[in-house]
Structure 1
């Protein structure tokens, strides 16, 4: 996903976003962190309808709103989820 600093949008206006949107959604960086995602209306509609090109395009929206995604990934216990999150956090610490 391409990124753009919020200051660039402030400086150049919507034209800065228009150029980048041709290649897909854009992460807006504010205070050195991704804060927002800007996408085309058509991209949003595809996301809302669940028309994703591949598993790697999946988002939180899919897990919340799509029963098929929940069936494909059976429910886990709170303990399983907590353990997975702990492993993920540990991996982040190791990378830093």
Structure 2
């Protein structure tokens, strides 16, 4: 796996990191040192789904990132939920 990008780098650099990485082929997105996703160029993706004979719906990179919860500090929603739970005793 030569062409890798960490989630931290993706968050820091955004789409520029993907654009730079795609110049060298598919990008393996690493989360906690494990491959979590692979980003393909549009031409590679079309070639892949063309081999299956049709378009297969899937997630965009942004949809995938938003579907995975952040690790680390709790968000506002989590904090508010915990406070409500503490108050409802």
TM-score with structure 2 setting the length: 0.54
* Counterparts of 1:10 and 1:3, CA distance in 2: 14
Structure number having the greater helix percentage:
1
RMSD: 1.5
Aligned residues: 52
Instruction: Give the equivalent residue in structure 1 for 2:23.
Output: 22
Q: TM-score, normalised by structure 1?
A: 0.50
Q: Could you say what secondary structure the match of 2:4 adopts? A: strand
Q: Secondary structure at the match of 1:34?
A: strand
Q: Matched residues in 1 for 2:22 and 2:13: separation?
A: 15
**Equivalent position SS for 1:23:** coil
Aligned-partner SS, 1:27 = strand
Which residue number in structure 1 is paired with residue 39 of structure 2? 38
- State the structure with bigger RCO (CA 8 A, min sep 6), 1 or 2: 2
- Moved segments of 4+, more than 4 Å: none
